[in-house]
Amino acid sequence: MNTHINHGQNQLLIICTSQIAKHRTDWLNAIANERRMAEKTVEAYERDLRQFLTFMTAYVGGPTSLKDISNLKPSDLRGFLAERRRGGAGARTLGRGLAGIRSFIRFLEKKGLASSAGVAAIRAPKQPKTLPKPINVSKAILLTNTATQMREEPWIAARDVAVISLLYGCGLRIGEALSLTPAVIAESGNTLPITGKGNKARLIPLLAVVRDAINEYIKLCPYHLEAQEALFRGAKGGQLRAEIIQRQMRKLRGALGLPDTATPHALRHSFATHLLGNGGDLRTIQELLGHASLSTTQIYTGVDTDRLFEIYEKAHPRA
């Protein structure tokens, strides 16, 4: 890590005083060794702070001093962010840069050398909404195969298949799947009642293949499943935690050559995308997902905009 921390010492004496340079080195050592930030994050913070000190040097007409940092105003930071934006930096880059500067100034503040009031008054640029990419149909189906799970215990493999089948076959959020009880399953016929965000209730068609996966898990589970308690159990019998399924998905995507975006939530996204791609209408998909507004569903299925135009052109009387 010291290679990155000591980078460009000669340049530093041009853009900041030796006092700032020393505090910068101490800060980088602290976030690397005490806070154990990832090496790539430390590198990015080092680079962002260097860019900020370069900007301040031009702004104040000389090497940035501790007094310049102490007197930092929100307008100074806005000027820096505006310059970076003109240089092509996106919202994520600007947000990370602001986080790095805040970290450094708070480090100085703890030593009684600066105030973070100026940086605290600046809101980070609004981040664009992103969604996981849908998993293709063949890989999604493969994820619901017991043999794919690579589990030594058959009941645990069956459990994972049942949970993944609910995410992909019913479009459930992982929390919704893990909150199911044996009573809900026993009382459901061809539809599964789900209470989602904001206590919004919805009915999901329960595919035979999904019910079969759940029944196979129930048959193999070594623990007594009380009607009103958690359906899905961990290896020691407690309620299954979301992290266990997330960890299993990481193993599966490594084995199947899937990208890092192949998460449990990506299975819900795949459910919606595959329905839309096969002719499902947005209003129905909205109900199945439990979205409060149609605009959310439009964003969620935005990857298939071309498909929407195709349906429109075929169906609208004036098309």
Q: Are residues 153 and 235 in the same domain?
A: yes
pLDDT, averaged across the chain: 84
Pairing label, strands 191-195, 201-205: antiparallel
318 domain-assigned: no
- Supply the DSSP string of 211-261, one letter for each residue: HHHHHHHHHH--S---TTS-SSB-TTSSBPPHHHHHHHHHHHHHHHT--TT
Domain that holds residue 250: 137-264
Q: Are residues 141 and 207 in the same domain?
A: yes
Q: Are residues 186 and 242 in the same domain?
A: yes
pLDDT at 315 (0 to 100): 63
Name the band, by pLDDT with cuts 50, 70 and 90, for residue 92: confident
Has residue 233 got a pLDDT over 90?
yes
* Range of weakest confidence among 67-71, 160-164, 185-189, 249-253: 67-71
Name the band, by pLDDT with cuts 50, 70 and 90, for residue 89: confident
Tally the domains of the chain.
2
283 domain-assigned: no
Whether 45 is catalytic is: no
Active-site position among 102, 268, 269, 274:
268
Active-site position among 35, 67, 92, 197:
197
Whether 268 is catalytic is: yes
* Cα 59 to Cα 53: distance, rounded to the nearest angstrom: 9
The CATH number given to whatever domain includes residue 82 is: 1.10.150.130
Active-site position among 84, 173, 233, 274:
173
End-to-end C-alpha distance for the chain, whole angstroms: 61
Q: Are residues 144 and 107 in the same domain?
A: no
Active-site position among 45, 168, 217, 300:
300
Name the band, by pLDDT with cuts 50, 70 and 90, for residue 312: low
pLDDT at 218 (0 to 100): 97
- Which residues, 6+ apart, have CB-to-CB distance to 216 below 8 Å? 158, 161, 162
pLDDT at 156 (0 to 100): 96
The CATH number given to whatever domain includes residue 178 is: 1.10.443.10
- Which residues, 6+ apart, have CB-to-CB distance to 46 below 8 Å? 4, 5, 7, 28
- Supply the DSSP string of 56-107, one letter for each residue: HHHHHTSSB-HHHHHT--HHHHHHHHHHHHHTT--HHHHHHHHHHHHHHHHH
